[in-house]
Amino acid sequence: MIRRLRDWLPVFAVFAAGILLWQFAFAPWLGHFLLPTPTAIARSLHAHWSVLWQAGWFTLQEALGGFAIGSGLGIAVALALARWRRLSGALMPYAIAANAVPIIAFAPIMNDWFGLLNPRSKMAIAAVLCFFPVLVNTVRGLTTVPPAAIELMRSYAASELQIFRRVRVPNALPFIFTGLKVATVLSMIGAIVGEYFGGSIQALGVQIENSVTLFDLPLAWAAIVVASAMGIAFYSLIGVVERFTMGWHPSAHGVRE
Amino acid sequence: MSTPAPVVALQEVSKRFRGGTIALEGIDLDVHPREFVSLIGPSGCGKSTLLRVIGDLVPPTEGTVTVNGKTAQRARRDRDYGIVFQQAVLYDWRTVAKNIALPLEMLGWDRSKRKARVDEMLQLVELTAFADHHPWQLSGGMQQRVSIARALSFEPALLLMDEPFGALDEMTRERLNVELLRIWSETGSTVVFVTHSIPEAVFLSTRVVVMSPRPGRIAQMIDVDLPQPRTNAVREEPRFFELVTEVREALARGGAEQATAQLVAEGEL
């Protein structure tokens, strides 16, 4: 426990130093209007707590939905690509090309397709963002298996399906979780970016957009704090699931590289 | 008097890889029950490929491979052999016990039967205390013992070993050599063992097959008449040194012949 505390101490120290610099150097230097002080943001956060909290939850739900759809599809397609390599050769260039399309360009289109106020339009954007990193990481995990690990299974006359289940999928787990962690953050970004192009007044992105328009910058920053907190919570949740699923992995036992 | 049918019979086996590299050429070799045969030769002489041809992990280009009187493919499907690689190839997500149980799962053994056999195997390789450990918690030597236990768990008649101790330090290697001989004599299996260590080949084997490279051919076969069971004391006997010298000279001759052949081919001689 003491050890844990000592590990976290530098983190807290940097956080405190950053807040102090912000409060007493950056904010006065840039002017309190352009950069509100942390105390002003905290006051705003306190005053608008229930609205912000609800907005955050609303947006997090959109992000979760998009995350589930995008990651689910990413894993499913990766399984197919790893199973049928020829398919992979035919489809991978398109997946890469699709990933190169700026998501900002998709956002208004999704809003048109699924309806501006419908959370599904934001889920779609988040899903598109999540799909690619999960796909790429999963394919890599399924295919970068040491040749001898496959030869061993073949020596037991294992079928392709048995090799998949017993070797490729467990081998891919650390890779899949890396992809999922990246996707958590991307899903929050996707949902909020979608909301900038219009959405329910309950949404966090719309809140940020409105408060900036009204020059209530402390409120905008307070909303950003909520968005970050949601993102961190989501990321940590996947981290916990990872530890739970991969208790066998050296990293779950405090072993460091 | 009739000799028992060979466990492994290779006739005129050749292997040409795509791109034209000839890994093996005209290999004739019979391995009889209870034999411990080492394949030794420099890197690139095709000894590992030969082992994989026997295990039906690499198809030969020409020739016939018979294992236990069946085609190599039939023998693999029937799980007639266990294999050990240079790396232990343990699955990180499985405990030591579950790694050993893997082939038994593939054979469809039920849980209680699996557990009984795994316990036996853990005892055989003296790792009972580590049953629930994960591979990364073990030393390299211990990992390789798990790998051997796994290969032996379903009692295959034939054990194929591809430089299993190559990545280990000399002391661990010598200890595992003795352990392997004990297991070999206890289980009554037949072993084909790939190595590039001359003393290891002589110490372990009943017969050493010396191979020469490019293309991989059998240069010479040397019967090892050291008494059984062998202990580390054998390594200090004059006969051991004689045999080591014999293998070394055979290896050198194989290399010289190959160099000569190459010069002739290039028109230098």
Most B-contacting residue of A145, A150, A156, A171 (CB-CB within 10 A), to test interface: A156
Which of B79, B134, B136 lies at the smallest CB-CB distance from A156?
B79
**In terms of pTM, does the model score above 0.90?**
no
Q: Which of residues 57-116 of A touch B (CB under 8 A)?
A: none
pLDDT given at position B37:
95
Per-residue model confidence (pLDDT) at position A257 = 42
Residues of A in contact with B92 (CB under 8 A): 170, 248-250
Per-residue pLDDT at B209 exceeds 90: yes
Q: Please tell me which residue, A2 or A90, carries the higher pLDDT value.
A: A90
Whether residue B184 lies within 8 A of chain A, CB to CB, comes out as no
B77 in A contact zone (CB under 8 Å): yes
| CATH of region A37-245 | 1.10.3720.10
Q: Exposed, middle or buried: residue B30 (CB in 10 Å: 0-12, 13-18, 19+)?
A: middle
pLDDT for A252 equals 61
The verdict on residue B252 lying in a domain is yes
Q: Kindly list the residues from chain B whose CB atom is less than 8 angstroms away from the CB atom of residue A149.
A: 89, 91
The string of pLDDT tens digits covering residues B117-162 is 999 889 888 889 999 999 999 988 899 889 988 988 888 889 999 9
Angle (nearest 5°) at CA B227 between B224 and B229: 115
Residue B96 falls inside a structural domain: no
ipTM of the complex: 0.83
pLDDT tens digits, one per residue of A44-70: 999 999 999 999 999 999 999 999 999
Q: How many CB pairs under 8 A join A and B?
A: 54
Which among A155, A162, A173 is the nearest to B55, CB-wise?
A: A155
Per mean pLDDT, which range of A70-79, A173-182, B255-264 is the poorest? B255-264
Residues in chain B closer than 8 A to A167 (CB atoms) = 91
Mean pLDDT, residues A2-12 taken together: 82
Q: Which of A12-16, A81-85, A149-153 has the lowest mean pLDDT?
A: A81-85
User: B133: closest CA among B120, B146, B144, B124?
Assistant: B146
Q: Quickly state the pLDDT bin for B1 (edges 50, 70, 90).
A: very low
Q: B253: distance to nearest CA of chain A, Å?
A: 33
Residue A203 has pLDDT above 90, yes or no: no
Of A170, A246, A250, the CB nearest to B91: A170
Q: What range does the domain containing B47 cover?
A: 1-78+195-269
CA distance B122 to chain A (A): 20
Q: Do B102 and A173 touch (CB under 8 A)?
A: no
Residues 160-199 on A with a CB inside 8 Å of B are 162, 166-167, 170, 173
B171 in a domain, yes or no? no
What is d(CA A226, CA A223) in angstroms, rounded to the nearest whole number?
Answer: 5
Split at pLDDT 50, 70, 90, the class of B43 is confident
Handedness of CA A73, A75, A79, A85 (dihedral sign): positive
Interface of B with A in 94-153 (CB under 8 A): 94-95, 102-103, 106-107, 134, 136
Task: Give the tens place of pLDDT for each residue, B80-104.
Answer: 898 999 888 999 899 999 999 999 9
pLDDT at B216: 87
Higher local confidence (pLDDT), A98 or B14? B14
pLDDT at B253: 84
Q: Do B76 and A157 touch (CB under 8 A)?
A: yes
pLDDT surpasses 90 at A94: no
pLDDT tens across B210-263, in order?
Answer: 998 878 889 889 999 888 888 888 889 999 999 999 999 988 887 666 666 666
Cβ-defined contact of B85 to A151 (cutoff 8 Å): yes
Residue range B28-35: mean pLDDT, rounded: 92
Contact (CB<8Å) B106/A152: no
Q: Minimal Cα–Cα distance from B267 to chain A, Å?
A: 40
Average pLDDT, chain A: 88
| Mean pLDDT for the stretch of residues B50-59 | 92
Query: So where are chain A's domains?
Result: 37-245
Q: How far is A134 from chain B (nearest CA, A)?
A: 21
- Sort out which chain B residues have CB atoms less than 8 A from A247's CB and list them: none
SS3 assignment for chain B? CCCCCCCEEEEEEEEECCCCCEEEEEEEEEECCCCEEEEECCCCCCHHHHHHHHCCCCCCCEEEEEECCEEHHHHHHCCCEEEECCCCCCCCCCCHHHHHHHHHHHCCCCHHHHHHHHHHHHHHCCCHHHCCCCHHHCCHHHHHHHHHHHHHCCCCCEEEEECCCCCCCHHHHHHHHHHHHHHHHHHCCEEEEEECCHHHHHHHCCEEEEEECCCEEEEEEEECCCCCCCCHHHHHCHHHHHHHHHHHHHHHHHHHHHHHHHHHHCCCC
Domain CATH for B12: 3.40.50.300
Q: Which among B77, B91, B102 has CB closest to A157?
A: B77
The number of domains in chain B is: 1
Confidence category of residue A211, pLDDT binned at 50, 70, 90? confident
Interface contact flag, A148 B89, Cβ < 8 Å: yes
